[in-house]
Each structure stands twice: as structure tokens, then as C-alpha cells.
Amino acid sequence: MSTRFSHYSIYQVDAFADAVFKGNPAAIVPLDTWLPDAVMQKIAMENQLSETAFFVQVGSGFDLRWFTPFFEVDLCGHATLAAAHVLFSELHLDGGEVVFKTKSGELKVERDNGAYRMNFPIDRLSPLSDDRVEVALGVPPMALFQGKDDLLAVLECEKAVRELEPDMRRIAELDARGVIVTARAGRAEQLDFVSRCFFPKYGIDEDPVTGSAHTTMAPYWSEKLNKSTLRAAQRSPRGGSVGCEVLGDRVILSGGAVTFLRGEISLPLVAG
């Protein structure tokens, strides 16, 4: 019995970044046809990044799926931005816009002077009371909300967000994908709000920069600050910046991306 191999291009892109080693790294794998779900999940586990995205061209658009090391997810911002960057900068897609079809509906990404603008559905919040969140975070939130997938905990100041040392085991026990913590930004920078995001249940203790979380935070801060255009920063060790614009039931997220790695995956095919 001989072993043959199939080969697939793979790119690693730092999203919501203007230089490598910043923002949130995502792996992007362009495909002609879908691989089995179990194989894509194994590739994501092998990569050990917060997200690995796969896309297949269908007509003039692309079907797009996202995998953490442990699960497929319904929405991921930074890997969507990274996928658009690969299409435009590495595969030289014509035009100024790409349309992705996903489990969260149709997502459009536009090129914008070296950066990208993504049109995402807004996340609606419901007030929540859960004493376990305070225990998990180690500090009492000023306000707590339930979003579609995540909990949003509002803290009193940026310093509290920066210094937070949550209990990951207790966060994983909560009834949500993860916890977003946020606060109004300090006055030293031209920012409106800051955040950190924790998803230990999905194999990601702290996500470097979480695009989808900003569809949850942007409507909250837009109403709180009475402005539709906001600047945000995620205070993870890598850090990253996200522009937000609230437009009705949509949020425009904007940021840059940089290719870090170009490579090839070899998957064995067993032939008799």
C-alpha cells in the first residue's frame, strides 16, 4: 500500500494589526471543495490558533467557515478580515469588495485604503444577573448582559480591565461561549472603549483581538456615549485596534491585516 498526499495552501495573517506580531493571528486555508468537517477540525487543532478559516468559491462569492481548536463557530471577525486579506493581497481578487456566505448570513468586506471594512450583524443585549460572573472575574461588574453567544461585563475603568486576572475554570462553567469585559477608555488616547475577551470553553483562555465581540460592545457604547462611530482597543498582551460604526442592525468593523506566513499543508491519502 502506497501513500499519496494532497496539498493545500495555508496562510497565517495577523488581523486588526498594522505590523506582524500584533493583532490576532488566524490561519486561512483556501479550498476548491470542502474537506470533511473532522479533517478541518483537526487542521484547526494542529494550528493551535484561536481560529482557522476555510473558504470555497461559489459563483462570484465565497462560502466561509471558522474553527477554533475544539469547535466550529458561527461568527468570527478577525478570521473574516484575514480571509479577505488573503483573497485581495495573496490571491489577487479583482474589485474592492468580497461577499462571504456564512452561518451568520451574508458578510461583506471592503478594501479601504490598505485596511478592511466588514459589515456584520449587530448583537442585541439583555440585562443579566449571575453571581457566578463576579466570582469568575474576581471583581463585581457595574453591569452584566447576555448577548447571542457571550456575556458582556462592564467594569468601572480601563485599569480594572487591564489588571483583571479571571479564573478560567469558572468562566468555562458559565452558560455562554465566553465573557467579554469592557470599560470606557482612559483619556490618554483617542479611544472610546477597551476590552478583553476570555473563551476557555473553546480552548482560548484570552483571545488577542475579537472582531465578533465588537458587534456586542459597539451598540452598548454607542448608546452610552451617544455616538455611532467609535474607536476601540483590546487590551490583550498582543493588543489591537478596531474601528466600529453602528448602522441600524449592522456594525461596520474596520482594521488592518498583515501576512505573517505562507505555507502548504500535506494530507495523506491512502491508495491500494
CATH of the domain at 28: 3.10.310.10
pLDDT higher than 50, residue 58: yes
Q: Are residues 163 and 66 in the same domain?
A: no
Q: Are residues 130 and 236 in the same domain?
A: yes
- Is residue 51 part of the annotated active site? The answer reads yes
In 3D space, the residue among 139, 187, 143 whose CA is nearest the CA of residue 163 turns out to be 139
DSSP label of 86: I
d(CA 142, CA 19): 35
In the predicted model, what is the mean pLDDT of residues 153-177? 96
Q: Which domain holds residue 230?
A: 126-248
In the predicted model, what is the mean pLDDT of residues 132-141? 97
d(CA 68, CA 42): 10
Q: What pLDDT, on the 0 to 100 scale, is given for residue 2? A: 63
| Percent of the chain clearing pLDDT 70 (strictly above) | 98
Where residue 3 falls among pLDDT bands split at 50, 70, 90?
confident
Q: Are residues 149 and 216 in the same domain?
A: yes
* Annotated active-site residue in 46, 51, 158, 245: 51
Structurally, how many domains does the chain consist of?
Answer: 2
Q: Are residues 216 and 244 in the same domain?
A: yes
Q: Are residues 242 and 132 in the same domain?
A: yes
E strand spans, 135-256: 143-146, 151-154, 179-184, 193-199, 204-207, 229-234, 240-247, 250-255
In the predicted model, what is the mean pLDDT of residues 234-253? 94
Record the pTM.
Answer: 0.87
Q: Are residues 72 and 152 in the same domain?
A: no
In the predicted model, what is the mean pLDDT of residues 169-180? 96
Phi, psi of 137 (to 5 degrees): -85, -30
- Kindly give the residue spans of alpha helices, DSSP state H, lying in the chain: 37-47, 77-85, 131-137, 158-163, 168-172, 211-225
In the predicted model, what is the mean pLDDT of residues 121-130? 94
Where residue 135 falls among pLDDT bands split at 50, 70, 90?
very high
Q: Are residues 135 and 241 in the same domain?
A: yes
Average pLDDT value over all residues in the chain = 94
pLDDT higher than 80, residue 188: no
In the predicted model, what is the mean pLDDT of residues 143-154? 96
Q: Are residues 68 and 145 in the same domain?
A: no
Higher pLDDT, 5 or 55: 55
